[in-house]
Amino acid sequence: MARWHAGAIDAFLDRAHRDPDALGVVLVGSVARGDDRPGSDVDVYLVVTDTAFERAASEGRISFVDRTGIDDPHGYVDVKLVCPSYLRDAVTAGDDPLRASFVGSRVLWDAGGGLAPQIGALLDPGPAYFESLHTAFVAQVALHGGYFLPQATALDNTLLAHHAAVHSAYAAGRLVLAKDGTFFRGAKYLDAQLAASPSAPTGFAELLADLVARPSAVRMRAVEDALSSLVPDGFAISDEVLSRFITDNELSWRTRSSPPEFR
């Protein structure tokens, strides 16, 4: 850990202890995982009371940068606020990037003593969680790649073609991660996550990049073929698959659940 990282953490903890609304501090990101670089920022979740969180949300301050006492010109503490109700809800309803953000985390201070078990539950949602995501992403690939992409070709619609290709590619990548039981960290990490995946077909990230760069039915078929061992029933648009796609996308306003790509 860089000297300024350790100093920034100590200074932030000191301020948190003196904040009457603060309940705990969780170190996350590269510094927590131990793969930080000298220029890495320090990522923390500051746990505050529910009342303080709601007040901060109304003021547009649930995330902020803190440079107090940091002598490195490029250094800062990236602070995100959470609260007890937020963490309780996250155990059952948290999305992949949120859960992934706690992988390798370290509880630096916990006034109530319950943070570690909550984080443990957040990181262990059970196999049904990943099975549901896998099913959802099969439907995303089937519709975006098997319906919207051919429609784009037939209509000579470039925007629709790239839209369908991007959605198909990310759904295909996340399908692989769900098969592994691995949380999706975010779009900028997908290539690296696929490279480390035990289930990803050889050269899969390149197949997805090629599909996005040059959308076509042929390239979409290559992606589907590469996934044949993970999706033995294929990507046919059955009534069940279509219903899942509509439920996840068109009815998200009613189910109060985000479309799969945002989970």
Nearest to 96 by CA among 209, 206, 184: 184
Dmax (CA) for the chain in angstroms is 64
Tens-digit pLDDT profile for residues 20-56:
999 999 999 999 998 888 778 899 999 999 999 999 9
Report yes or no: 142 and 171 within 8 Å, Cβ to Cβ: no
Tens-digit pLDDT profile for residues 63-99:
999 988 777 777 789 999 999 999 999 999 999 999 9
CATH of domain 3-122: 3.30.460.10
Question: Which residue bears the tokens 């949380």?
Answer: 183
CA distances from 252 to 2, 95, 245 (A): 44, 15, 10
Whether this prediction's pTM lies above 0.85 is answered by yes
Cα 246 to chain centroid, rounded: 22
